Chain A
Amino acid sequence: MLDKIMTITAREYKATVKTKTFLVSMILVPVMMFAGIIIMKLFEDNVDTNDKNITIIDRSGVVAERLVAIAGERNKNEVYEKKDDGELKKVRPKYIFNIVEPDDSEPDKQRYELSEKVWKKHIFSFVEIGKNVLHPVVSADEGDFSSVIRYYAEGAALDDIRRWLGNPLNNEIRQMRMKEAGIDPAQVTELMRWVSVNGMGLYSVDPQTGEYIEARESSEGEAILAPMAMMMIMFILSILGAQPLLNSTMEEKSQKISEVILGSCSTFDFMMGKIMGGVGASLSAALVYVGGGVIALRYMGRSDLIPLELIPWFFAYATLLITMMGAIMAALGSTCSTAKEAQSLAFPGMIPMIVPMMIWFLIVREPLSNFSVITSLIPPLTPMLMLLRQSTPYHIPAWQPWTGLFGVILFTLFSVWASARIFRIGILSSGKAPKIGTIIKWVFRND
Chain B
Amino acid sequence: MENTIEIRNVTKKFGDFTAVNDLTLNVPKGSIYGFIGPNGSGKTTTLRMLMNIIYQDTGEINIFGEKYNQTFKDRIGYLPEERGLYKSMKVKEILNFFGRLKNGKNINTEADKWLKKLDLYDWRDEKIETLSKGMGQKIQFIASVISNPELVILDEPFSGLDPVNRDAMKDAVLDLKKIGKTVIFSTHDMDIAEKMCDYVFMIYKGKKVLDGTLDSIKDIYGTDIIKIMSEGGAAVLNDVRNEVKGIENINDYGHVQEIRIEKTCDPQDVLRSLVSKTSVTKFEISKPSLHDIFVRIAKPVAEDGGEVKNVG
Contacts and interface: CB of A to CB of B under 8 A. Distances in A.
Given A1-B70, A256-B83, A266-B70, A261 B51 contact: no
Interface residues of B, number: 31
Contact of B73 (A11, A256, A263, A447): A263
Contacts of B144: 263
Interface string A1-43: 1011001100100010000000000000000000000000000
A428 interface: yes
Given A4-B101, A15-B88, A265-B101, A260 B83 contact: yes
B311 interface: no
B70 A7 contact: no
B51 A262 contact: yes
Nearest to A262: B53
Given A7-B97, A7-B100, A257 B86 contact: yes
Contacts of A7: 97, 100-101
Interface in A42-92: none
B302 interface: no
A208 interface: no
Contacts of B73: 263-266
A257 B97 contact: no
A255 interface: yes
Contact of A259 (B55, B80, B86): B80
- Please tell me the size bucket of the interface on A: 20 to 34
A277 to B, nearest CB: 13
B35 to A, nearest CB: 16
A143 to B, nearest CB: 72
Contacts, number: 67
B130 interface: no
B106 interface: no
Contacts of A428: 48, 53-54
A260 B88 contact: no
Nearest to B73: A264
A260 B102 contact: no
Contacts of A264: 73-74, 78, 98, 101-102
Given A1-B70, A428-B53, A447-B55, A260 B80 contact: yes
Contact of B83 (A3, A259, A266, A447): A259
Interface in A175-189: none
A160 B109 CA distance: 76
B217 interface: no
Contacts of A3: 100, 103
23 contacts: A3-B100, A4-B101, A7-B97, A7-B100, A255-B84, A256-B80, A256-B82, A257-B83, A257-B84, A259-B82, A259-B83, A260-B79, A260-B80, A262-B51, A262-B53, A263-B53, A263-B78, A263-B80, A264-B102, A265-B70, A265-B73, A266-B70, A428-B54
Given A11-B86, A256-B84, A260-B80, 5 more contacts: A11-B97, A256-B83, A263-B51, A263-B77, A267-B53
